Structure 1
Amino acid sequence: MNETSQNKTAKSPEKDPVKGKKRDRSASEGKLLKAAEDVFSKHGFKGATTRMIAKKAGINESLIGRYFDGKMGLLVAIIENYVTVEGAHPKLTYPAQATLTDEILAYAQFKFDRDCKKNFDFFKIVLSQAIVDAKFAKRIREIMQPFFQPELEERLQKLKDTGKIHSDIDVKTLIKGLDIFMFGNIIFQRVLLGNTLEETGKTLEEFIRRHAKALET
């Protein structure tokens, strides 16, 4: 071997087997989480099996137990991923509005598009499991931060400070009530009544518009 070859060999970085294994595991976990969400949404938590999930992901079934401690661990991991990566309360994508009614309607549309259109099938799985499994429900409450909307709170407080909302209105309580109403109403209309997305959205808009007006000065 000549001197040039020796220098090239000396400068070549050695592969880190630990980092390689971490990358492989991260990739496998990501595939399993995506597959699990699809399978849970299609078959429900009870109807889904680890075999179905592993097959869809193209990953060895034994890794579900190793990485997530089974099917329930996968469901919890999906929710944790939703909160930490996607953000349970992401940045509002619409500009601040000039009135309470317009702000709440815009927020409702934002939540409707995200939670009723995009994530609704999976939310049904989480809800149904929380109803029958108290331990799971407790774990979800620990993960989630319901009714916490800092950006919306800031916008509504500004409207209140400028005299556009009645002074006796508590902004945090208003947001909590809005979130509870929206989620409960969406579940009732879509699951129990079988209403279409269009019908559900129209009912929500009419109700919110009517009641928001009563809170304005």
Structure 2
Amino acid sequence: MHASACLHPWDFMREPSTADTRERILRAARATFGSRGFAGTTTKDIAKKAGVNEVTIFRHFKSKQALFASAAAEMLPLPDILERVSFDGDVPLDDMILHNVETVLEILKANKHLFMIIIGEGWRHPRLRRSMADSGIEMGVRFLSENLEGLMQKGCLRKMDPDIAARALIGMVQIYFLTRYLMSAKTPTAQEEEAYVKGVVSIFVSGMSPHQGVDSSE
């Protein structure tokens, strides 16, 4: 008689992998921080939601602040933005910029509550603020800068420091989102938003036309 391969009860009770545990903790942290904010959340709350011992959290993250920084960084919508914007040089420049501005604004609005938490906690925790800047804002600036530089090389945009051009465009979108969605009690109407977005596109495209001004990178 041949021995059969048997599954023992303890085969189903093996400890989850380190990666699985870390992801469970991050999911629980995102949900708890999102509903209670940083100050209103304890690591005990997160451990309970993740189904782990509180000590396990500190094996993966040095502190509640480190956990918040990791959770917030992974919640930032930058990957979604990078995937959905387009820099196809065959598309008219104003259509391209319009599509990208509308796309970014739509994603920012969908993540409004996340940004409210990040901004509120970021000013109280300088290290967290720097972490968010490095993992979100600066990465986005570099991405846009590289794509704008490519358009400059193709002659679609006038040549200048692409970092300045990127920060100018991002700034116009960010200040609108900040003042109209995070700090204002009155949400803009669809007509107001359309007018602003078209104005941003007009300003940027007119200012960056290859026939406008001189090469400021010299």
TM-score (norm 1): 0.72
Deviation of the 1:158 alpha carbon: 4.9
Deviation of the 1:129 alpha carbon: 1.7
* Superposition map of 1:144-155 within 5 A: 144=136, 145-146=138-139, 147-149=141-143, 153-154=146-147
Counterpart in the other structure of 1:35: 28
Distance 2:162 2:198 in 1: 21
Unaligned runs of 5+ in 2: 212-218
TM-score (norm 2): 0.72
| Aligned mate of 1:188, from 174, 179, 184 | 179
* Superposition map of 1:40-189 within 5 A: 40-82=33-75, 87=79, 90-94=82-86, 96=88, 98-117=91-110, 119-144=111-136, 145-146=138-139, 147-149=141-143, 153-154=146-147, 156-167=148-159, 169-189=160-180
Distance 1:170 1:103 in 2: 20
Deviation of the 1:70 alpha carbon: 3.2
Aligned residue pairs total 201
Unaligned runs of 5+ in 1: none
Deviation of the 1:205 alpha carbon: 0.9
Deviates more, 1:180-189 or 1:134-143: 134-143
Distance 1:52 1:71 in 2: 11
Deviates more, 1:47-56 or 1:100-109: 47-56
Aligned: 1:207 with 2:199: yes
Deviation of the 1:207 alpha carbon: 2.9
Q: 1:99 to 1:105 in 2, by over 3 A?
A: same
Q: 1:95 to 1:181 in 2, by over 3 A?
A: closer
Distance 2:72 2:78 in 1: 10
Judge conservation of contact 2:73–2:135 (CA < 8 Å) in 1: yes
Distance 2:167 2:181 in 1: 21
Q: 1:47 to 1:61 in 2, by over 3 A?
A: same
Secondary structure in structure 2 of the residue aligned to 1:166: coil
Q: Map Cα deviations across residues 58-114 of structure 1 (whole Å, 9 max, x no partner).
A: 33333222322332121111244357x973863345472623322221111221232
Distance 1:86 1:192 in 2: 22
Secondary structure in structure 2 of the residue aligned to 1:137: helix
Deviation of the 1:142 alpha carbon: 4.3
Distance 1:38 1:203 in 2: 35
Secondary structure in structure 2 of the residue aligned to 1:48: coil
Deviation of the 1:29 alpha carbon: 1.9
Distance 1:102 1:73 in 2: 41
Q: 1:39 to 1:207 in 2, by over 3 A?
A: farther
Q: Aligned-residue CA RMSD in angstroms?
A: 3.4
Deviation of the 1:43 alpha carbon: 1.9
